[in-house]
Amino acid sequence: MPTIEQARSWYRRDDPVHGFDHVERVVRLAEELARQAGADAEIVRAAALLHDAAGAHPEAGEGRHDHQDDSAAAARRVLADEGWPEER
């Protein structure tokens, strides 16, 4: 499972839109919602950690507003590297 420390390396320190505290807030809220809904906490946490990963990279430039596909691709790579099965 990706950790907060790993996720820090996927995001720019000088992100003009969100600091890393945004990701930390999303993770906390997502974990609480997962608990309330009885959802798979591991999947929810990974999704929260990775939700803006591509948009945070310097090369994202003007395309940042449309970064969801790139973030999904980045999430697939990270989770595959972590050994997660694709069907998860």
CB 15 within 8 A of CB 1: no
Helices (H), 9-87: 20-37, 41-50, 68-81
**Which domains, and CATH codes, for the chain?**
4-81 (1.10.472.50)
Q: Which two tokens stand for residue 77?
A: 């790579």
pLDDT tens for 39-83 read 999 999 999 999 887 764 455 555 556 678 888 888 888 889 889
Residue 33: both structure tokens together = 């919602």
pTM of the model: 0.76
Residues 42 and 55: their CA atoms lie apart, in Å, by 22
What the block records as the tokens of 24 is: 């930390």
pLDDT in tens, 4-30: 888 888 877 776 667 788 899 999 999
* Phi–psi pair at 56, nearest 5 degrees: -85, -10
